[in-house]
């Protein structure tokens, strides 16, 4: 009985890992993205992910370095980098439940979001905050999908809008 309880409780523990890009001043676009999975899915993902890193002679993977062949990927021909990326994508697809991405053009943020009227006592989000809110909205929507009977998730998501 404890194993069944543990498995059911693991399915209810969802973790999202997010990262941002385009935060430097001259980037016209800023984005945030990441992945959502339950405890067991993350355990299986981590096992495969760290095995891929080890067999590839890597200690970590940064997308920019992979794309441009710098740092740990220096000297890797494009075909080897593409093969690594393909294998990484297969691991992600096999083990993680959901990917989320939020994107904002910096000129749209200024011209549309920031320029819009603002109710008193309501602070507008930074670009980072706006992207986080977008990713959180998607994650909470997925959590509602996986646990539709939870009233707490629904009311929390309603407050984000």
pLDDT, tens digit, for every residue of 104-153? 999 999 999 989 888 888 888 999 999 999 999 988 887 677 665 544 44
Q: Which pLDDT value is given to residue 122?
A: 84
Same domain for 105 and 26: yes
Measured in degrees and rounded to the nearest 5, phi and psi for residue 74 equal -60, 130
Residue with tokens 């590839």: 56
Q: What is the pLDDT of residues 45-67, one digit of tens each?
A: 999 999 999 999 999 999 989 99
- CA–CA distance from 62 to each of 1, 20, 120, 133, 145 (Å)? 42, 12, 41, 24, 31
Candidates 132, 156, 134; CA nearest to 144 is 156
Q: How far apart are CA 11 and CA 14, in angstroms?
A: 7
Q: Which of helix, strand or coil describes residue 31? A: strand
Same domain for 157 and 104: yes
Number of domains, the chain: 2
- Kind of pairing between the strands at 98-105 and 14-21: unpaired
Q: What is the pLDDT of residues 9-39, one digit of tens each?
A: 444 678 889 999 998 888 999 999 999 888 8
Looking at 96, 115, 136, the residue that finishes a domain is 96
Q: How far apart are CA 133 and CA 104, in angstroms?
A: 12
Q: Which pLDDT value is given to residue 159?
A: 41
Range of the domain at 142: 14-38+98-161
**Is 92 or 117 the better-scoring residue by pLDDT?**
92
Same domain for 64 and 43: yes
Same domain for 44 and 33: no
Same domain for 108 and 159: yes
Q: Is residue 3 part of a domain?
A: no
Q: Is residue 7 part of a domain?
A: no
pTM: 0.76
Please state which of the ranges 7-11, 85-89, 90-94 shows the lowest mean pLDDT. Answer: 7-11
Q: Which pLDDT value is given to residue 154?
A: 44
């Amino acid at each position: 009985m404890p194993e069944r309880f543990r498995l059911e409780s693991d399915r209810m523990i969802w973790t999202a890992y997010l990262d941002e890009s385009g935060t430097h001043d001259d980037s016209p676009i800023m984005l945030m993205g990441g992945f959502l999975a339950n405890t067991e899915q993350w355990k299986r993902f981590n096992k495969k992910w760290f095995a891929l890193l080890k067999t590839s002679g890597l200690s970590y993977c940064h997308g920019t370095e992979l794309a441009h062949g710098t740092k740990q990927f220096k000297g890797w021909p494009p075909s080897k980098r593409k093969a690594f990326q393909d294998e990484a994508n297969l691991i992600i697809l096999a083990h993680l439940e959901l990917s989320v991405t939020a994107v904002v053009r910096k000129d749209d943020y200024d011209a549309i979001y920031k320029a819009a009227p603002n109710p008193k006592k309501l602070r507008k989000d930074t670009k980072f905050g706006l992207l986080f809110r977008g990713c959180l909205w998607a994650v909470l929507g997925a959590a509602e999908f996986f646990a539709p009977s939870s009233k707490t998730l629904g009311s929390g998501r309603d407050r984000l809008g």
